Amino acid sequence: MPRTHSSPAWRRIGILALCLLPFTAAHADDALPTPPLERPEYQPLIQLLVEEHGFEREQLLTWFGKVTLHPRIPKIFAKPAEAKPFHQYRGIFISPRIHKLGGEYLAEHRELLAEVEKRTGVPNTVVAAIMGIETKFGSVKGGYRAFDALNSAFALYPRRRAFFQKELVEYMLLCREEREDPFHFDGSYAGALGMPQFMPSSYRAYAVDFDGDGKRNIWTSHADVAGSIGAYLKRHGWAKGEPLKAEVALSPEQAARFNGGHKKKLALADLKAAGIDAPEFARVADDAKVAVVSYDEADGRTRHFVIFNNFFTIMRYNVSVNYAMVAAELDDFFRGVA
């Protein structure tokens, strides 16, 4: 799920890579009997929507009065998949089924994805990688009404209440712009929307009407979905033709010096000067800012990677090295079958 365009801390999933897990289905017995409007946090929210955004109070009371709060949602937030070791996290998203679905997706939408790449510079294989992670190419459906999910996070997860209040406001504005009832849209347990799993603020900022039918339909229009993913990555700095990562062999001394994680950026020239090299370096300028990350395989073997601008751009979609590494691995595979 792409991070929102204005929330650096949540960045949407450094802490919240949550929406990118397969959706959790809602159940009838997963609901609180207390009406949301009896909770004190709703008074300032309603006031904000009325005074700053011009909503009618009575209409808001009707809508929010029908919300179902799901207490299982904050429990899901407490166990983010991105906290898992990479070899465990990887298994959630990479499988023969995803490889098969990805190959079929690339073949079926070849012309569309070529047009997305022409307009945004983002390759078909990267769009496919994100589609595979987010909703398994649309085969995984939302298990909640998006309005219920956003309200549940807002009311029941105080740690991120400010974030979800902002997303609830964005969602209400989105529904007004799209002329839809707030209960119309399905989403994930975090309120992420459609096949690309955009939070409401990301939908409003980055979703595009790629097929030109007058709607930004990221639920069923593959054109709008692929175009929106491409538009998001382009807006966040995608560099056409550059690699995502390069695996490198490091001596213990080199690892100690350079392996500082994704936040320790240095010039590619510094790695070259230290005798570190990879074929992918030829496609990147010497003064480019890179970082060195590593992960341990299940057998304990440590692998080291240099990550480039486009890897960081995918981390703008989801601020998790694990997420971007899976996307890069899927991109590698899909380039072999596209």
Domain segments of the chain as ranges: 18-80+143-213, 245-307
Number of other CB atoms surrounding residue 275 within 10 Å = 9
Quote the pLDDT of residue 6: 41
The per-residue pLDDT for 292 is 98
pLDDT tens digits, 77-103:
887 777 788 989 999 999 999 999 999
Q: What angle do CA 65, 71, 74 make, to 5 degrees?
A: 115
pLDDT band at 220 (very low <50, low <70, confident <90, very high): very high
Question: Stretch 251-262: mean pLDDT, rounded?
Answer: 96
Lowest mean pLDDT among 26-35, 64-73, 138-147: 26-35
Q: How many CB atoms lie within 10 A of CB 6?
A: 11
Residue 253: burial class (beta carbons within 10 Å; 0-12, 13-18, 19+): exposed
Q: What pTM, to 2 d.p., does this model score?
A: 0.89
Looking at residue 30, what is its pLDDT? 64
Kindly tell me if the per-residue pLDDT of 294 is higher than 50.
Answer: yes
CATH among 2.60.130.10, 1.10.8.350, 1.50.10.10, 2.30.30.110 for 18-80+143-213: 1.10.8.350
Q: Which two tokens stand for residue 137?
A: 């190419």
Phi then psi for residue 204, to 5 deg, are -65, -35
Per-residue pLDDT at 111? 98
What is d(CA 255, CA 270) in angstroms, rounded to the nearest whole number?
A: 13
CA distances from 332 to 60, 71, 127, 190, 243 (A): 48, 39, 12, 29, 10
* Model confidence band, residue 143 (pLDDT cutoffs 50, 70, 90): confident
What is the number of helices (H) and of strands (E) in the chain?
15, 6
- Give the range among 34-43, 142-151, 304-313 with minimum mean pLDDT: 34-43
Given pLDDT bands bounded at 50, 70 and 90, which one contains residue 27? Answer: very low
To the nearest 10°, the Cα dihedral for 287, 293, 297, 302?
80
**Confidence band of 195 (pLDDT split at 50, 70, 90):** very high
Which whole number is the average pLDDT over 102-111?
Answer: 97
Find the largest Cα–Cα distance for the chain: 68
Residue 26 is predicted with a pLDDT of 45
Which residues does residue 295 pair with via DSSP β-bridges, in sequence order? 303
pLDDT tens-digit readout, 52-71: 999 999 999 999 999 999 99
